Structure 1
Amino acid sequence: MPSNLYTLDNSIVQSEMARKSDVPSPYYGEPSKFDPTFRGPISNRSCTDVFCCVIFIIVILGYIALGTVAWLHGDPRKVIYPTDSYGQFCGQKGTPNAKKSILFYFNILKCANPAVLINLQCPTTQMCVSKCPDRFATYTDMQLQYQITAAPWEYYRLFCKPGFNNPTKTPTHACGCVYTCMQAHTVHTHTYSTHTHTHTHKHFCNYGSFIMAIVSCSGITGLVDAKEVGMKIVEDYAASWNWILIGLVIALVVSLIFILLLRFTAGLLLWFTIIAVILVIAYGIWHCYLEFSLLRQQPGADVTIVDIGFQTDVTVYLHLSQTWLIFLIALCTIEASILIILIFLRRRVWIAIALLREGSKAVSYIMSTLFYPIITFLLLAICISYFSVTSVFLASSGDAIYKVMAAEPNCMYANKTCDPETFNKTNVSKTCPGAQCTFAFYGGETPYHRYLFILQLSNLLIFLWLVNFIIALGQCTLAGAFASYYWARRKPQDIPTCPLFSSFSRAIRYHTGSLAFGALILALVQMARVILEYLDSKLKGASNVAARFLLCCLKCCFWCLERFIKFMNRNAYIMIAIYGKCFCTSARDAFCLLMRNVVRVAVLDRVTDFLLFLGKVLIAGSVGVIAFFFFTHKIPIVQEDVPTLHYYWVPLLTVIFGSYLIAHGFFSVYAMCVDTLFLCFCEDLERNDGSPEKPFLMSAELHSILRKTEHH
């Protein structure tokens, strides 16, 4: 008889029989009965939750139709390129504005009018220009200088409407106020000094407007700086993408080696991981305290992070004592949490390590499961790409809306919809002198345009549904494969051929409706959380404390509800993979089984997740350290190969985050394996008693390990 089909001694058998004789709680159902024909995931099954499957297929077809309609009506250029007052795109290739990528407002101060929020229209002419003004100029000054030389006019005409070529004529909204953002000099009193101008220009740009423009330049300069930072980040990615890819490949190899080593040295490797993380954090605490102590003695290091604001050069923050104090507190908190877990849950850590060792055996027999996350990643990438493209096309589905921009505030046609092609033939210009028909925004009056917001919400809900379905499909597929391993009486002889593919086929063929049902429940809760987050962002400046408190409570409740549903769905998918029942029945059976083994659940649920999290942190941190030394030119062998970067932290953070995601992909297989083995173990204990007639299918080591949880 194989080692995993063993016979326990009489004392253990009697103890198991005594345990089974206990009357279970009627609230959590009857334990599973012994069935000599049961061999794991049943093959004789039928389609479940057919109605949900039909609805899901209809929704997918509708989603494709929604994307098609959005593609027909949308124009991403409306999002990518700015639009001038004539409805033309700035910077688009193949147009007269190809080299004019900047939108220039004749008087940007008018955009600060509260009416802009109501009418969705900035009441000033907008035109495309090739560059921003680099000097201060007014039309009056230009006319005075034009009598001497034509150079001022050649510069000023760049900011006038096309076709206006008479510098001696007084324009009517034909030219803009040409300001330039002057560098503000901050002094200790936090005041700003600017150049003064002694002339008053009554016709167009007076001195008061000039000062207001200079004061508002701080915000405009911030936008320009943000754009420059974005361009530099793109350049850094272009220069370092190959090294980022190498770093991610290293993370992939390290993760694979880590998982293979778990098969033979699970206990040693996991304890090494725990100790390594503790020592690394301890070193970080010592280093942060040392830096904090040194900076406290230096003048100027007591400036807060809020005082200096956002800086693209991260080394600026490293010269502040507050930065190292924040690091110190964070690392101390993490270190204390890990030590508390190890001290008070040390027995459970041993049990979790042994369970992971058992899980590594299952993974070693079905190595193809390690690469299933690639399929999940590809499906998620397709889903996210489709959602993003559909969102952009929906957002750009509106038609160009033109409205009357009147020079006089009492014009009866102000803000009325107009047609630029027929505007000059109407009597609007006669009734309101100086009125113009200018582009306002993108919209429409058709039913499609009126329900664009509803379509965007539908796009988001279906996207969440599809994402959760893809994750559910992966969980059910892995659960079926690992359940085939557990219920095989002789390992590996009785493990089915291609268990992963067989499990995937069963999930798609029979249980699409059940997986879609569970995914829909979770998607609705996530949609509610998105709406609550949106409301919270809108109420941040509100003074209604009761509303904020109620919103905070709702966010907390829905977060807890989402976590609970994720936990129950995960276990329901395991039961679906094994027994092939509908979602509600599987969820009920999983819940009752867990409650009948609540002590074991409390022991193993979070401890294994904690150990796997430490493994992910160790892998991401190790690759991150290598990337840090590489991009900061601290590895002498490859110093000449390091690309020149604006911000070295751009590829560094990308490598760290990507390494964590790669490690998470591998370790998620382990987590699903452990959860599946745990439910199978609970079923095994209820079905069998260890006697020759009803032998356990678990290994002797796994049985001895998990039986200890009843006493701890």
Structure 2
Amino acid sequence: MRGPLGAVIGRYPSSDGSTQVGGIIRHNRKCRDVAFLVIFIAFWVAMIVNSSFGFNKGNPLRLTYGLDYKGNVCGDRHAHPGLRELELTYWLNPNQVYLSGLKNSQFKLANARSICLLDCPIPSEDALNWVCDYPEGEIRLSVDDWIDRNYDYFEFLTPEMRNTSLQLQGPCYPVIFPSVNVYWRCQYVARASNVSMRHWQQMGGVNINEDIIIDKSIHRSINARSSVLKRYVADIEKSWPVLIVCGGLLPLFVSVIWLLLIRHFVAAMPWITVALFNILIIAVTMFYYLKAGWIGNDAISPIIGAHDPYYHVFGRELNHLRAAAVLMTFIMVVSILTSIAIVHRILMATSVLKVAAKVIGEVQALIIFPVMPYAILGIFYMFWFAAAFYLFSSGQTVQNNCNSNCCAYDLVSKRVNCDHCCGYSIHYTPHISIAIFFHLFGCYWATQFFIACSSTVIAGSVASYYWARGETSPEIPFLPVFSSMKQLIRYSLGSVALGSLVLSFVESVRFILESIRRKLKVANTTPESCMGRTAYHTSRFCFQCIEWIIRSVNRNAYIMIAITGKSFCRASAIATELIISNILRIGRVNVIGDVILYLGKLCVSLSSALFAFLMLDTHKYRSAHNKISSPLLPVLVCWALGYVVATLFFAVVEMSIDAIILSFCQDSEEHQGTAQYAPPLLMETLGDQNEMQRLTQ
């Protein structure tokens, strides 16, 4: 059994009537969980090394643009020749595209000859247009002149070159099919131009297949899962101004406003929070419906730029948006019903929030303190996102071994080359996947670490306030926030690193198991028996319960770390024992308050998502260079960033309530049910003496 904490965290009369002096917060501390602090430092070193690998091997242009027949990334100004404005991938040989679409064909679209262009070619109405290889060798044209000539220098070809061009071996290729810009790939429209086809046949060109397969082959490549994932990551890169405004600045502003309102209008804030939450979740759900095309005519389109309005291309991103709209509908209905169910308990939440409001009023530095971890996290996220873009695009460009007939005329060697004519691909090694997973885990651990540090500092500040009876005392530091921060940095960083690591590890395991579950579901290998399905779903529920318990224990452990200076495990044990022995009073007073605070954090994050939708709906992100494939992932990232920022600021209220209540329960336990150190502000909030006695029984 643990002894009383009075001598550790405060002063109270001893049995002989004398006063024990131990300081408001224990000062004779020592460093705890140092090994985990060393692990955390080593983790940061590994993060830097891992990011350096990405910066050296990655190229974010690969996330958006394709490769040409030389292995260059379209749009790369450092390529040879320079392709800064040539961002569209166009497949030159229509027969190769057709061959890649056949069911049992060994020829892949990645081996079809492709080139980077400024715009997608269209057939001429009265002649035959050509698209020729990059000018080199005997073709004395600059790239700019080549572009000005619409990529056509057929008239400069020698008879030999013209003959190979008519065999679809280059260096010039006919424009027979119209094409449209679909995610920076020129997708063929399987409607050959009669005029161009007639000119081609009159010149003696080889037969060109006109089957619809030529359309489906490119479409299948564009809609591949790997291509969709790359576009989603590229969407985040292109929408970085949205992330800064909606994921960083907006939640900062809204969170500070919420804290100020809770300070001055505490009675109205629960009602305002519930009402605002319902409005925001309905608005965000409606935006999903708009972008999914179920309301209005504003559905996302994979086609970039002007095009025939009768031509439609279906993208996988639209399916994802519709699935998100259905999910948001379900969440919206459940949330509204839940908010209605707790309406009659909001008055109880008001009394709880008064505790935090009064503490914030006394320790006013708590309102601005979260700006410090917010700034640190902001710098970390900028570095992390930059490294993530390079890691996701890392890999080595290698020429494929296609073993197919892909002969093409080489302007430099002046002959048809059949030996090294295969296309290029980005080769990904297994360690790249490990590096990406480590990077994702590192982001979550670092986020939890900084949130835990902020919570511990707030808990220490509030505990100082409580054990001083809410009065100004020379033993209470003038700036309790900075005093608590000093103790954290000097003694408890290892404990915080351990707590955040435990939570991150459990979350990662749950994510991996959930991924395995989805793969098994797709493979139809889920249990078929009733008992098997029961065990299957029960295990998921139990794991979620474990995660929730760890989150709750962590939060209370940080409070006891701030108060006692104990190690994480010891502080968790103390907090758990204290909670179990006072479960009724803590549950009765605190649960509804936590629900209101959770709704408040969702309000901040939903406002971030709503404004992200509005910003992404502007012309800048709907066309041309910065067009995003879907607002889904940028909005989700803004929602997540908004929630993290809200967690930092709302921790002021959460930790104030939890620290005050835990201190109050401990104070009551040590003094036979009568709290000796409860400040007048707390006594006033909880009611008269009879109410106090009822809570402590």
1:523 aligned partner: 504
Kindly indicate whether the alpha-carbon contact (under 8 Å) linking 2:177 and 2:191 is maintained by their aligned counterparts in 1: no
Say if 1:179 and 1:39 are closer, same or farther in 2 by CA, change over 3 A.
Answer: farther
Match of residue 479 from structure 1: 459
Counterpart of 2:486 in structure 1: which amino acid?
S
Matched residues in 2 for 1:65 and 1:279: separation? 45
Name which of structure 1's ranges 225-234 and 515-524 shifts more when overlaid on structure 2. Answer: 225-234
CA shift digits 1:23-81 (9 cap, x unpaired)? xxx8xx66656754354421110000112122222222232233334434444455465
C-alpha spacing 1:214/1:505, structure 2 compared with 1 (3 Å): same
Change (3 A) 1:482 1:229: closer
Question: Are the equivalent residues in 1 in contact too, given 2:469–2:679 (CA < 8 A)?
Answer: yes
Distance 1:461 1:167, change over 3 A: same
Of 510, 523, 526, which aligns to 1:545? Answer: 526
Find the partner of 1:464 among 439, 444, 452: 444
Counterpart check, 1:173 vs 2:175: no
Task: Describe the SS at the equivalent of 1:451.
Answer: helix
Residue 519 (structure 1) shift:
1.3
Compute the displacement of 1:505 (Å).
1.5
Cα shift at 1:89 = 2.8
TM superposition shift of 1:138: 14
**Residue 392 (str. 1) matches residue 375 (str. 2):** no
Aligned-residue RMSD, C-alpha: 5.7
2:388 and 2:439 in contact (8 A); partners too: yes
Please give the secondary structure, in 1, of the residue aligned with 2:111.
Answer: coil
> In the aligned structure 1, how far is the partner of 2:494 from the partner of 2:513?
29
Q: How does 1:362-401 map to 2 (within 5 A)?
A: 362-401=359-398
Residue 697 (structure 1) shift: 4.9
Q: Percent identity?
A: 23
Tell me if 1:359 matches 2:344: no
CA shift for structure 1 position 282: 14
Alignment check: 8 A CA contact 1:237 1:650 kept: no
| Aligned counterpart, 2:313 | none
Q: Which amino acid aligns with 1:213?
A: I
Partner of 1:569: 554
Q: Pick which of 568-577 and 119-128 moved more.
A: 119-128
Alignment of 1:222-371 (within 5 A): 256=256, 258-267=258-267, 269-270=268-269, 272-273=271-272, 305=294, 310-311=299-300, 333-343=334-344, 346=345, 349-371=346-368
1:130 paired with 2:118, answer: yes
Which residue is 2:208 aligned to?
206
For 1:329 and 1:72, the matched residues in 2 are separated by 44
Distance 2:503 2:446 in 1: 11
1:489-508 residue pairs with structure 2 within 5 A?
489=469, 491-494=471-474, 495-508=476-489
Partner letter of residue 213 of structure 2? M
- CA separation of 1:472/1:56 partners in 2, compared to 1, >3 Å: closer, same or farther? same
For residue 670 of structure 2, what is the aligned residue in structure 1? 687
Give the residue type in structure 2 aligned to 1:266: V
Distance 1:627 1:517 in 2: 35
* Mapping 1:414-453, distance limit 5 Å: 434-443=418-427, 451-453=431-433
Change (3 A) 1:113 1:264: same
Tell me how far apart the structure 2 counterparts of residues 137 and 166 of structure 1 sit (CA, whole Å). 25
The alpha-carbon distance between structure 1 residues 533 and 621, as it changes in their structure 2 partners (threshold 3 A), is closer
Question: CA-to-partner distance for each residue in 1:83-126, whole Å, 9 max, x for gaps?
Answer: 2232223222254242422222233344447899x999823222
Equivalent AA in structure 2 for residue 688 of structure 1: H
Q: 2:637 aligned with 1:671, yes or no?
A: no
Q: Deviations over 1:316-362 (max 9, x none)?
A: x9xxxxx999999876654432232234xx3xx43432221121111
Summarize the Cα distance change of 1:558–1:219 in structure 2 as closer, same or farther, 3 Å threshold. Answer: same
Shift of 1:666: 3.4
CA–CA separation in structure 1 for the residues paired with 2:296 and 2:159 = 47
Distance 2:485 2:222 in 1: 55
Cα pair 1:138 1:205 within 8 Å, conserved: no
Count residues in correspondence.
600
For 1:127, give the aligned amino acid.
I
Tell me the TM-score normalized by structure 2: 0.68
Structure 2 partner of 1:4: none
Which segments of 5 or more consecutive residues in structure 1 lack a partner in the other structure?
Answer: 1-25, 144-153, 184-191, 289-302, 318-322, 412-420, 633-641
Given that 2:66 and 2:73 are in contact with CA atoms closer than 8 Å, whether structure 1 keeps it comes out as yes
Opposite residue 339 of structure 1, the aligned amino acid is: I
Equivalent residue, structure 2, for 1:293: none
Structure 2 residue aligned with 1:188: none
Pair 1:363–1:435, CA change in 2 (3 A): same
In structure 2, the partner of 1:37 is 21
Shift of 1:371: 2.0
**Distance between the aligned counterparts of 1:138 and 1:630, measured in 2?**
44
- 3-state SS in 1 of match to 2:418: coil
3-state SS of 1:122 partner: helix
Distance 1:406 1:382, change over 3 A: same
Change (3 A) 1:328 1:138: same
More displaced, 696-705 or 354-363?
Answer: 696-705
TM value normalised by structure 1: 0.67
Q: Distance in 1 between matches of 2:81 and 2:359?
A: 65
Contact 1:100–1:129, Cα closer than 8 Å, also in 2: yes
CA separation of 1:273 and 1:218: change in aligned 2, threshold 3 A: same
Distance 1:701 1:625, change over 3 A: same
Q: Aligned residue for 2:596?
A: 611
Q: How many angstroms apart in 2 are the aligned matches of 1:281 and 1:64?
A: 39
Q: Counterparts of 1:473 and 1:553 in 2: how far apart (Å)?
A: 34
Aligned to 1:591, which of 576, 580, 588? 576
Find the residue that maps to 1:407 and give its secondary structure: coil
- Greater mean alpha carbon deviation, residues 216-225 or residues 518-527: 216-225
Change (3 A) 1:521 1:231: closer
Partner amino acid, structure 1, of 2:266: A
- Indicate yes or no: 2:496 matched with 1:512: no
1:98-177 residue pairs with structure 2 within 5 A?
98=83, 99-105=85-91, 106=93, 107-112=96-101, 122-135=110-123, 157=152, 166-169=161-164, 170-171=166-167, 173-174=169-170
Instruction: Determine the C-alpha separation between the residues in 2 that align with 1:55 and 1:121.
Output: 47
The amino acid of 1:132's aligned partner reads C
Q: Deviations over 1:648-697 (max 9, x none)?
A: x98998999688776655333211211111111111111224779x5655
SS of residue paired to 2:401:
strand
* 173-182 or 606-615, larger mean C-alpha shift: 173-182
Structure having the higher Rg: 1
Q: Which residue of 1 aligns with 2:45?
A: 61
In structure 2, relative to structure 1, the CA distance for the partners of 1:471 and 1:39 (3 Å cut) is: same
Partner SS state of residue 397, structure 2: strand
Paired amino acid for 2:582: N
Equivalent position SS for 2:437: helix
- Asked if the contact 1:383–1:467 (Cα under 8 Å) also holds between the matched residues in 2, the reply is no
2-structure distance, mates of 1:577, 1:613: 23
SS in 2 for 1:545: coil
Residues 250-281 of structure 1, C-alpha deviations (whole Å, 9 max, x = no match) = x76665455345445423x2365278559979
